[in-house]
């Protein structure tokens, strides 16, 4: 499996917008359209497409927020695998690649994310990667998790 991560461009934007999670997950994450709107409003966010063998299978949005804490925080703010690609290992493969990219791009020692605690499949995945709750909640009352690199 050849994994690559690409910026959202006018060439792949329509494909990105066509991604969606399964019906049972729609309350846990924004649509890709909402994510791209957020990225326009907050330039710290970087939306990307997640590819396996040049086929788009998912989406993520991350960024560095210097105003948070004394050294800032790197956030993996959105992460989704399209419904038709779920359950076959893409989540693990893409999260591995994203963590490597964030560490390389930001030279960070910690990566933050937030999720609703009842999103059990995402919680299990993040815990496998060493993310742990830090006792904080974000503005949407999602629980904050952190991975120490």
In the residue annotation, 51 being an active-site residue is answered as: no
Residues near 2 by beta carbon (within 8 Å), at least 6 away in sequence:
52, 53, 54
Catalytic residue among 51, 85, 90, 126: 126
CA-nearest of 142, 140, 139 to 126 is 142
Would you please indicate which residues are annotated as catalytic (active-site) residues?
126
């Amino acid at each position: 499996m050849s994994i690559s991560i690409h910026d959202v461009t006018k060439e792949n934007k329509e494909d990105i917008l066509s991604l969606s999670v399964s019906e049972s997950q729609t309350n846990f994450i924004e649509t890709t359209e909402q994510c791209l709107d957020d990225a326009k409003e907050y330039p710290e966010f970087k939306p990307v497409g997640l590819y396996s063998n040049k086929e788009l299978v998912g989406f993520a949005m991350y960024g560095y927020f210097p105003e948070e804490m004394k050294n800032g925080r790197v956030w993996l703010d959105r992460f989704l695998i399209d419904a038709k690609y779920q359950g076959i290992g893409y989540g693990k493969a893409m999260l591995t690649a994203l963590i490597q990219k964030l560490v390389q791009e930001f030279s960070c020692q910690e990566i933050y994310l937030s999720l609703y605690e009842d999103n059990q499949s995402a919680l299990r995945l993040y815990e496998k990667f060493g993310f742990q709750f830090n006792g904080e909640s974000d503005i949407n009352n999602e629980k904050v998790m952190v991975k120490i690199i």
